[in-house]
Structure formats: structure tokens, C-alpha cells
Chains A and B, each alone.
Chain A
Amino acid sequence: MSISILGARVIDPQSGLDQVTDLHLEGGRIAAMGAAPAGFAASRTLQADGLVVAPGLVDLGVSLREPGYSRKGTIASETRAAVAGGVTSLCCPPQTRPALDTSAVAELILDRAREAGNSKVYPIGALTKGLEGEQLAELVGLRDTGCVAFGNGLKEIPNNRTLARALEYAATFDLTVVFHSQDRDLAQGGLAHEGAMASFLGLPGIPETAETVALARNLLLVEQTGVRAHFTQITSARGARLIAQAQSLGLPVTADVALYQLILTDESLREFSSLYHVQPPLRSAADRDGLREAVKTGVIQAIASHHQPHERDAKLAPFGATEPGISSVEVLLPLAMTLVQDGLLDLPTLLARLTCGPAGAMRLPAGQLQVGAAADLVVFDPQASTVAGEHWYSRGDNCPFIGHCLPGAVRYTLVDGRVCHEA
């Protein structure tokens, strides 16, 4: 299959390319930009005047729910949702059942993802067996199966010595460790950001220090061990400042933020809607502004959906008894475009945070447009809009943005030169 995409504004944040030109795809790769190569015969031509072509989005946090939680989502359903959101590469976290701590589980996920034939899937392996925080998982074996990084989810490793050793071991093999920085003791029992809103609602609070205390400790251990570290789901302005300080000292640290943290605040909890129950929690408006600033300056180089689909029953209880998480990968692009609409970022910078930024953090072969590279692309209309929920592929409809009119609409998502989504 060979495809020509004609007349689009082609934006590649990695190389700084931003011009109206043509793209020609063949054999799953980008064959040429501009003029077609000699003898090129397109079997399909996409007229893309007024549309934008960018590298397919790279999402560092998409829970696929398989194995173990297929009532919430399957690899097929959630990767289908992902391509609808413009995502061509994604990382899935290790909180499956059983946990992603053996090559067998990693292989199962990769096989099913290949069968589904939607986004490319890059698993994040468990740092410790069963995510129990005690014994190291076979990190090198997992790497050889295809895990691109290792983390322990929100379940902290309780023993600092075990954590330090885990980091040293990972550093030995130049593996990337993903940190969810939330102090277990300070966050214990908490349901919402500790602040006026939680006080008002009578919800137990999770103080900002739950993040910053853990983050400060983790950064010191990263400095000591020299491990490649990625800090995921930063929620506070002070947390972002700690990352910035570490980067200015030259530490090899990157960071991401959940897209919804750049949009929502704890103000949303006022009516106790369980759709806004997330972990780590939505924080204050000042935190949101601090996170936005860090995204703008590049201290936070990746925006991720942190997609967590749920079955209906998981959200059908009083706030504290519901399961945390928002299903949103399938509106990743239009929801992120609200940041451009609000004047926070220009389009190329936004795309950088959604493509080469996350790809670089995880060293993925993705997130850029290069002749000869895989043709993983998103083609979207920046002037059109998307009504969230009009089509819905994810098994989880736990998305507070459903019914909202969002700017931008994905027209085509291509993975390895194949149109996986078309609207």
C-alpha cells in the first residue's frame, strides 16, 4: 500500500519542520517529503488541504487493563480508542493481574497488541515482583522481551534501602525507571488534594508534601545512583520546581503530566462526582498554573492521557468508595488542543510535548517525521471540532469531558503506513 498525503501543513517538532508540503508513504515507511520519488504510484491519495500532519502521538500512560481487568477494557478496545485520539505509540503501566513482572505477561500483551493492529504498545515493566516492593523483577529479561522502562506504580517501595538497590541495579544496565512520587504515609487514606475544597467536602486530604517529600528523596537517590529516571504524573507546582532544579544540576531526569491535570482542579469535586476521582489527586488552580508553566518551558517534556478506563460499577458509589481514574486517550488530541485554544502553547510546542518529548523520555523509535522512518502519523483538522463521546471505542466511559465540544478533529491515524482510524 502506498499513500500520498497532499497539501497538508506538515509539522515535525523534532526537526523544527513546519511547512505546507506533500508526504509519500510506501512499505510502511515515509518514502519522501515534497516531490514523489521516481516511479512512485500512490494506491491512495489523501487530499489534506487545511489539515495538519504530525508524527503520531506518543502517550506514556495508557492502562490497557489486560490481562486481569478485561471488564474495564481490553488491549483491542483501548488501542482502538488510542488511534481515535491520534496515538500511534503508547506505554502501558505494569498494574495488570498478574502484574507485568514476567516476560510471559509482557509477551501476552505484545502479542495481543499486534493482533489488534492499532497503536504500537511499549510496556512498562514492574520494578519489583508483584509490585510488592520487596524483590526485584527480572529487569533485563523484561527488557529483552520489550519493556522500555520499569516502575512500581503508586505502590511505593517502602524500604529506602531496597529502592536504592533497585535503582543501582537498573543503572547497571542503563534501564529507565519510572517514578510515581507519592509518599505512602502522607497520602494514606486520602481522597482529594488537601486544601479548602477537601476541607469543605469533608474528604480526607492528600497534602502536596505527599508528592514533594517522595520526589525530593527519589531525586537524591537518582543523583546517587545515576539511573535514568522519568517522573510521571507530576501534580504540584512545587513538584515541577524540584524537577527543574534537578535538571539544572544536570541530572538525567524527564517528567510527564496527565493532560487532565492541566485542565481540571480540585474545584471540580464540589458535587462529589466520582468522574473526578483520580490518583494522584486533582490539585489547586495555582498547581495547575505551575504545571502549565513547566510544560511551556519544557521542564515537563511530555503530556500523557493517563487513561484509566473503568466499568460502570467502579464509579457507581459514594466518592470515596469509587475507583480512581479518567478514560481519555481517545480525546487526547482535541483535549490537548484546548491548551492551544487557551493561548498557553503554540501548536508546534504542544505537538512536541505529545510526540518527540515523550518518545525521547522513553527512548522510543517514534515521535518524529523522517524519510525512511516508520510512517506513524496523525492527520487532523485544527479548525474543526470534536464532540467528545459522539463515537466511543474505549470500554470505559468514565470521562468527565464527554459531551464537551473540543477544538480540532483527528481525520486519519496511520500506523506503519496503514490507516488505522479515519473520521
Chain B
Amino acid sequence: MTPIDAKRPLQLNDQGQLRHFLSLDGLPRELLTEILDTADSFLEVGARAVKKVPLLRGKTVCNVFFENSTRTRTTFELAAQRLSADVISLNVSTSSTSKGETLFDTLRNLEAMAADMFVVRHSDSGAAHFIAEHVCPEVAVINGGDGRHAHPTQGMLDMLTIRRHKGGFENLSVAIVGDILHSRVARSDMLALKALGCPDIRVIGPKTLIPVGIEQYGVKVYTDLAEGLKDVDVVIMLRLQRERMTGGLLPSEGEFYRLFGLTTARLAGAKPDAIVMHPGPINRGVEIESAVADGKHSVILNQVTYGIAVRMAVLSMAMSGQNVQRQLDQEIAQ
């Protein structure tokens, strides 16, 4: 049977530039590197007394969060403001959907208010794809986290953190520790590390928190923390949600901490100059010891700073990609 016509990747325009940012799946290394380089240049903007550039002047960026968030929403707001855009933030979980409005209608209404860009967080995996494909293809859609699927700006800010502290990816060992199963951050990190050429990606956790078939990402699975952390350059800790204690995934927070919590003693097994990362918010004493979270290996707060620069890069690149596509479409129409 004839397969479906090969179509252009949803998140790229005809020239291969970003027009949505939905997932890191299928994005070439050059594009990821371009995001990191652009973010690097924006870091300098953040250090200035006047922290603004006019790239998105006159554009409206709409943050639509169907799930609660503080850090991600705030850094997206700051990023858009520093690009001189008008910013609206909606906490939709408490408004339209409780009145029975569908995701489709909520987004259509916002589109009618002439938004140029949506930053969306939603609890369903694939929500950002759905919006970009079926709701408003003309508006740049940035995935701010969809279910367990992807959190691509977090993935890229993690990569920026690693590159700035380690110089590159070619000779690194990176360990991702904890609840991989429910983590969109872990999935985006794995894809990004792979695409950027990291040769040794490890995931560490009990089998109940490791997704089936994860080896397909090109990662090695460890169920023993000491073994998995041996000589790594980077440790990425994941947040453990309380609700994982029900349903037989884990017996208790205490047992998880005893086996997979990152302590000073455990970290000693990594390289002496290893860095410790965490997407936040951290659970002290559940997945990470305070002495580690606040210690000299920790770059957790740097991640937050880099997050703004990465989001500025993605917002400006996607807006530019949409504009280019619109021009191309107009030329074809004429």
C-alpha cells in the first residue's frame, strides 16, 4: 500500500527554519547549535542595564498554561518582554476549560485576538502538535511542556548549561536520575544529548520508573546509582512527585532517597568537576540533599538564568521562521 505522502516536518518551514517549537525529535544538530549560539548572544542582553532588544516589537505572545507553572511561565514572560513583545499570560486551568470550552475553541478565540505566538503547556502528550497542526498553523506554537512527552525549551536550556560549563558534548558522560517514566524533561534531554553528539547517556532509576524500550533513545539503563554515577561529568536530577507512592511504583520517599537520592557521598563517585542540574522545583531530602543542591557542583540557579536566554532564542527564531513562510506562501499565491 502506498504510504502517506512524505510531508514537511510540522515544526519547520520550507527553508528548514523553525516555525513552531514542539519537540526535539527530528531537529538536526545544526539547528540545535544555532539555538544555543543565539541564546549565548542573548545572555549578554540579560547582563545589560537596559535588558531589551526590539526583535518582537509589535508582536503579541500569548502564554496559555493549562497546567500550573511558576518558573517556566515567568521565564517565558521575561523572555518575550526582553524581546519587546506584548505578553499576555492565561492560566486556563482555572478559566475556560472549567466552563466546558474545548482546547480547540480556547485557542481559536485567542487566535482571533491576533496573537502572533502561543506558548502552551498542557497535561496531554501531543497537545502542542495538535494545536500547531489543527488549530492555528499560522501562529508560532512553542511547547512549554506537554504531558510526559516533551519540554523542549527545558531540554535546550539544559544543553546550554552543559555547553557553558563543559565546553561541548563530544566526550561527556551524562546521567539522568530518578523518575524517567513521567518526565518530559528527561525525554527532551535524551533527544538533545543524542542529537548534539553526547557519547554516553545514562538513565538511573528503579525499573518501575524507567519507560519500556527506552534503550531505543541510545541510552544505557542503570538501576544502581553508584554504578551509574561512576565518572560522569553531568548529573541531571529529576523531581519525584508525591503521587508516585501510590499504585505500587515505589514503597516510600525514604526508600527512594536511600537508593537514588543524590548525596555528597554518592556524588563523590562522579568526576571531581562534575556539575549537578535539576529542572526544579527541587524536593530537598527526597531526590537531592541540601548540601548538594546548594554546593559547589550545583548549577541549578544558572539553569534558570540560561532559561530566559534560551526562550528568547526560540521565540525570536520561530517568529522569524513564520514570517519567512508567510512571505514564501504569498509569493506562491501571486
Contact = CB atoms under 8 A, between A and B. Distances in A.
Interface string A161-173: 0000000000000
Contacts of A316: 102, 104, 134
Given A271-B129, A272-B129, A404-B1, A199 B104 contact: no
B27 to A, nearest CB: 14
A42 B195 CA distance: 71
Interface stretch (A64-72, A286-294, A318-326): A318-326
30 contacts: A194-B212, A195-B212, A196-B216, A197-B213, A199-B212, A199-B214, A199-B216, A200-B25, A202-B125, A202-B146, A202-B149, A202-B184, A202-B187, A203-B125, A203-B147, A203-B148, A205-B212, A271-B133, A272-B126, A272-B130, A313-B102, A316-B102, A317-B130, A319-B125, A319-B126, A319-B130, A321-B103, A321-B124, A400-B4, A404-B2
A140 interface: no
A405 interface: yes
A195 B1 contact: no
Interface of A: 194-205, 207, 263, 271-272, 274, 313, 316-321, 338, 341, 400-401, 403-406
B212 A318 contact: no
B104 A317 contact: yes
A272 B126 CA distance: 6
Contacts of B134: 316
Contacts of A338: 1
Interface in B1-57: 1-2, 4, 10, 25
A404 B127 CA distance: 27
A205 B182 CA distance: 12
Contacts, number: 86
Given A263-B1, A272-B125, A272-B130, A195 B213 contact: yes
Interface string B199-216: 000000000000111101
B212 A196 contact: yes
A320 B125 contact: yes
Contact of B102 (A200, A274, A317, A320): A317
B122 interface: yes
Interface in B249-299: none
Contacts of B104: 316-317
- Interface pairs A-B: 9 shortest CB-CB: A196-B213, A202-B148, A272-B126, A202-B149, A199-B211, A318-B124, A318-B127, A202-B125, A196-B216
B138 to A, nearest CB: 18
Contact of A200 (B2, B146, B217): B217
B232 interface: no
B162 interface: no
Task: Pick the most buried of A205, A271, A400: most chain B CB atoms within 10 A of its CB.
Answer: A271
Contacts of B125: 201-203, 272, 318-320
Interface string B113-138: 00000000010111101100110000
A318 B103 contact: yes
B150 interface: yes
Task: Pick the most buried of B126, B147, B214: most chain A CB atoms within 10 A of its CB.
Answer: B126
Nearest to A195: B213
